[in-house]
Amino acid sequence: MTKTVIWITGASSGIGAATAKKFSKEGYSVILSSRKEDELNQVKEACAHPENCAVLPLDLAQTDTLSDKVKQAISLFGHIDIMFHNGGISQRSLAIETQLEVDRKIMEVNFFGTIALTKALLPHFKSRKSGQFGITSSLVGIIGSPYRSTYAASKHALHGYFDSLRAEHHEDNIHVTMICPGFIKTNVSVNAVTADGKSLNEMDDAQANGMSAEECANQIFKSLKKKKEEIYIGGKEVMAIYLKRFVPGIFSKILVKAKVR
């Protein structure tokens, strides 16, 4: 029996690594991608069934290489069923202080890299009349918050793009699941870029006290399996979505006072 194949970017750590392990445990074939080949191999060996996992290094910033990466990915197991776009970079800097080249870098990786990979894979899904995109957005892909201006913009852009793509390819049986985590205990803030492009190199308190990557992965697994359109993952911070939607003025006052970083 042919196994269901999931391809995960950003699979070398955090949510991506935890999700790879979860899908492997559930019997899926898993393709693991990121820039860090050594770490990808470590994740592969930590999976329940490493014999059904493959490592395919890639850099989302190198968009001209991604068509070839799609061909390589398809050749590994013969097809792809789920593309989990999880690769990306975060930000911790004020908009007024952030250099434009840093803004461009965030958009290049988070948006254009993801879109380039999607465009290259879409014909495969369309020809099979089957496929699913899971996209790691963020709660700030809906609400925005201080110190994350361009990061939030890149995630907002993904929502607009993939909501449109979902409608365009409904008849092709291609599904889209937008995944919006809040505070998850990973190194996302450690690796976040600052105003001059350097890494923050410290973990936010909210991140340190957040949901485990493993629990987040469990919820991602369930949402992808049920082909949900959009899910919110986290603790009480998820309430921000509803405050923004129903009482935006009150939410703005809370956001200013909270000074979340």
3-state secondary structure of 70: helix
CA gap 218, 226 in Å, rounded: 13
Q: Which residues pair with 22 in a beta bridge?
A: none
Which residue of the set 28, 151, 161, 232 is catalytic? Answer: 151
CA gap 146, 95 in Å, rounded: 8
- Identify whether the C-beta of residue 161 lies closer than 8 Å to the C-beta of residue 115: yes
Can you give the pLDDT at residue 236? Answer: 94
Domains and CATH numbers, the chain: 5-258 (3.40.50.720)
Can you give the pLDDT at residue 261? Answer: 61
Can you give the pLDDT at residue 256? Answer: 87
Can you give the pLDDT at residue 190? Answer: 86
- Identify whether the C-beta of residue 102 lies closer than 8 Å to the C-beta of residue 197: yes
- Identify whether the C-beta of residue 180 lies closer than 8 Å to the C-beta of residue 140: no
CA distances from 44 to 13, 15, 84, 85, 136 (A): 11, 14, 16, 18, 21
If you search the block for the tokens 């890149």, which residue do you land on?
A: 154
User: Is 151 part of the annotated catalytic residue set?
Assistant: yes
If you search the block for the tokens 């202080």, which residue do you land on?
A: 97
Per-block mean pLDDT, blocks of 10 residues, the chain (261 long):
92 98 98 98 98 98 98 98 97 97 98 98 98 98 95 98 98 98 92 94 85 97 98 96 95 81 61
* pLDDT above 90 coverage of the chain, percent: 90
What is the chain's alpha carbon radius of gyration, rounded to the nearest angstrom? 18
DSSP per position, 109-136: IIIIIHHHHHHHHHHHHHHHT-EEEEEE
3-state secondary structure of 33: strand
CA angle (196, 202, 203) in 5-degree steps: 125
Can you give the pLDDT at residue 260? Answer: 60
- Identify whether the C-beta of residue 186 lies closer than 8 Å to the C-beta of residue 168: no
